Amino acid sequence: MAKAGATSKATEKGSDRSDTTRRALVIAAIESLKKDGFTRASARVIAQRAGVNQGLVFYHFGSVTNLLLAALDAVSEERLQTYGNEVTKVVSPGELVDTAEGIFKNDLEAGYITVLVEMIAGSFSTPGLGSEVAARIQPWREFAQSSIERSLGDSPLNGVLPSKDVAHAIVALYLGLEMLSHLDGDAAPALALFAHAKQLASLFEAMTAPATTKESS
């Protein structure tokens, strides 16, 4: 299935060549998903973008679908690594909303979510792709859940709030907003929501903060 493993310190020069080609194809695949969409992300188009022969897609990845999944993996990994650090610093709902807004803007600009949405879209057409994509969304879901729980800290709400379900909703909302933003060519409605969320977060903090300091009786 995968070709992972000992490629870094190999003695053959052939591995380097292979690796270069693979990397070029993955980058070109990401670019194609962003700019052309799933439907037009064909072996021919991707290979041309990478400057290599079209047949190499099948030699190195077995199928176009596998290459696209590799592209999604690459994006997913880079994204989680970048944002993972940012989010560990978050200790309140207000900060979480701020961070989420920054991530949303960055995702929109970088086209990270576009890649994911395209793959989801393609999943409806390509048999068997659905479960593969679903498995790759799982880390994002867990990322959302742990972020929520961390931001709530030791608030009493932490035990009551169904963080798993909320995380599911957040991911769904995130994907939906991204789709609509692209469709309308306008991110304003989505960004307006972050402003409202910020107000809600500060309202929440104002409601819960006094409860811990004012412990009379």
Footprint of a second copy on residues 93-122 (CB under 8 A)? 114, 117-118, 120-122
**Among 122, 102, 160, residue whose Cα is nearest residue 38:** 122
Q: Which residues bind DNA (CB under 7 A)?
A: 12, 14-15, 17-18, 21, 40, 42-45, 52-56, 58-60, 63-64
| Binding flag, residue 206, a second copy (CB under 8 A) | no
The item of a second copy, DNA, none sharing an interface with residue 50, based on CB under 5 to 8 Å by kind, is none
For every residue of 28-54, DSSP letters joined together read: HHHHHHHHT-TTT--HHHHHHHHTS-T
The CB-of-67 to DNA minimum distance in angstroms stands at 9
DSSP 2: -
Reading the block at residue 43, the tokens are 């072996």
Residues 6+ apart with CB under 8 A from 167: 141, 142, 144, 145, 148
Question: Which residue from 10, 172, 200, 203 is in contact with a second copy, where contact means CB under 8 A?
Answer: 172
Angle, vertex CA 193, rays to CA 185 and CA 36, nearest 5:
25
| Binding flag, residue 123, a second copy (CB under 8 A) | yes
Choose the stretch contacting a second copy; rule: CB under 8 A; options: 48-56, 74-82, 101-109, 163-171: 163-171
Residue span 48-67 as binding mask against a second copy, x where in contact by CB under 8 A, dash where not = --------------------
Comparison of 29 and 190: residue with beta carbon closer to a second copy: 190
Reading the block at residue 76, the tokens are 């997913």
